[in-house]
Amino acid sequence: MDLRELLSRNLSCPIEENVSLAKYCTFGTGGKAKYLISPYSALDVVRIMNAREQYHFPLFFLGNGSNVLLSDIEGVVILSSGFNYADYYECKEKNKVIIEVGSGHLLKSVVKESIRRGYKGFEFAVGIPGTVGGAVVGNAGAQGIDVSRLLLWVECVTTDGAVIRMDSNDIVSGYRYSSLSESGCFITKCAFEAASGDVRLIKEKCLEYWSKRSHQPYAYKNAGCIFKNTSNYSAGRLLDECGCKGKRIGDAEISSLHANFCVNLGNARVADIKKLIYECRDIVYEKKGILLDFEVKIFGF
């Protein structure tokens, strides 16, 4: 039995073949996935993990595609869009709010709903694109705060097909890092703790944080910051000081608004973006002696 047959016999969700990933990535460009699967249940993810034990294919998890640069993937891409829900529980006695949310739910929807209901905690996340699953795996953050601060637990499917729940204390988190990223686990859902607050104050904070993003480029497709900041330097400032703003290969350009953003002016190819960002990384290394670490995940061939 070949892989296609095995997957379609066992899974109860759509499987697409030879799919362009461009529309699934905020860069607006991407290679092809041999198989793109959109499961709705943890059970289907278990079945994919089990099939992988047998066939050893490359496997990539995709949320909103807002932090990735993907070439061709000769294997399986699992889309988390089927895990799209959020439940809000108020624990009146302590002003505590528990938010249980599917990995494919957008973080900005949690932010928006929290503002509407007057729950504080997620203000820092205003403007962060991407799904909750992606945010948890990459420990997304802004304003010096990150999602690990609010995380209670994560439910995921492990590489050997077990569905487990991990307490946030068992997950190592750092700046744009969580140990989940190395585990190979697929997150199905997680829970956050927020608190009841004053809607007016929450809105004010969100507006303050939002205004700090005014120098980020929104007119063109992009994948947020390309590089992580170092412990001492802002990657954007380093790239700017090294003259990277405005550098261009094909339709890929380093934004003149913020040097840590690479924008797609229209028809950028993955190869253009890749070449440009590696070139800029080399320039910073030559001029400053600092090797920047990618925040964007580059995957595929």
Residue whose C-alpha is closest to residue 67's, from 228, 254, 241: 228
Spatial CB neighbours of 98, under 8 Å, sequence gap ≥ 6: 88, 89, 91, 152, 191, 192, 193
228 contributes a contact to ligand EPU by CB under 6 A: yes
Alpha carbon 188 to chain centroid, angstroms: 14
Residue whose C-alpha is closest to residue 272's, from 262, 281, 258: 262
Of the pair 76, 110, the CB lying nearest ligand EPU is at 110
- Residues numbered 238-267 forming contacts with ligand EPU, rule: CB under 6 A: 240, 258-260
Q: Which residue is nearest to ligand EPU (CB)?
A: 224
Binds ligand EPU (CB under 6 A): choice among 39, 104, 134, 224: 224
276 contributes a contact to ligand EPU by CB under 6 A: no
Number of residues counted as binding ligand EPU (CB under 6 A): 17
65 contributes a contact to ligand EPU by CB under 6 A: no
229 contributes a contact to ligand EPU by CB under 6 A: yes
Spatial CB neighbours of 219, under 8 Å, sequence gap ≥ 6: 263
295 contributes a contact to ligand EPU by CB under 6 A: yes
Measured distance CA(26)–CA(264) in Å, rounded: 9
Site string for ligand EPU, 113-152 (x = CB under 6 A): -----------------------------xx---------
Six token digits for residue 25? 């990535």
Asked if residues 102 and 132 have their Cβ atoms less than 8 Å apart, the reply is yes
Of the pair 259, 268, the CB lying nearest ligand EPU is at 259
Interface contacts to ligand EPU, rule CB under 6 A: 142-143, 212-213, 224-225, 228-229, 234-237, 240, 258-260, 295
